């Protein structure tokens, strides 16, 4: 699917927000719990969709494979369960969830022919 320039610009802005949240999660989340992050991720996706913009799925299968996670009915919450089972703590899970979103949105943007704006 080719993105319009408006969709491309909006998607890049969302990507920047995810990147900033990953760099400074304490500014975005309190408590710093994975469930807070999943609600925030879903809120961003719903807001993007409510503005009548196309958006990627909640996660990319390519990205999920990289993190050796399995998909299932629980979606993002299922990933939390799997990461906790590996012994990961809340903040580490938050980082992985944000990394998944960054890589998913980046993959979706890169599928289009318009070059991505360089990060600051």
pLDDT band at 103 (very low <50, low <70, confident <90, very high): very high
pTM for this prediction? 0.84
Residue 98 lies in domain? 5-110
Is residue 43 included in any domain, yes or no? yes
How far apart CA 96 and CA 82 sit, in angstroms, is 12
Is residue 74 included in any domain, yes or no? yes
Is residue 70 included in any domain, yes or no? yes
Is residue 115 included in any domain, yes or no? no
Is residue 47 included in any domain, yes or no? yes
pLDDT digits (tens, 9 = 90+) for 25-61: 999 988 889 999 999 998 998 888 777 666 777 778 8
Is residue 120 included in any domain, yes or no? no
Is residue 14 included in any domain, yes or no? yes
In b/e form, how buried is each residue of 62-75, taking b as 16+ CB within 10 angstroms? ebbeeeebeeeeee
Is residue 117 included in any domain, yes or no? no
Counted domains in the chain: 1
How far apart CA 70 and CA 47 sit, in angstroms, is 26
């Amino acid at each position: 699917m080719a993105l319009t320039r408006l969709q491309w610009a909006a998607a890049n802005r969302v990507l920047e927000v995810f990147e900033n949240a990953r760099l400074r999660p304490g500014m975005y989340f309190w408590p710093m719990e994975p469930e807070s992050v999943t609600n925030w991720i879903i809120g961003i996706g719903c807001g993007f969709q409510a503005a009548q913009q196309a958006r990627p799925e909640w996660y990319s299968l390519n990205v999920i494979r990289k993190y050796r996670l399995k998909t299932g009915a629980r979606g993002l919450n299922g990933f939390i369960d799997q990461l906790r089972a590996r012994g990961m703590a809340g903040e580490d899970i938050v980082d992985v969830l944000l990394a998944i979103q960054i890589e998913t949105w980046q993959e979706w943007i890169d599928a289009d022919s318009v070059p991505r704006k360089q990060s600051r």
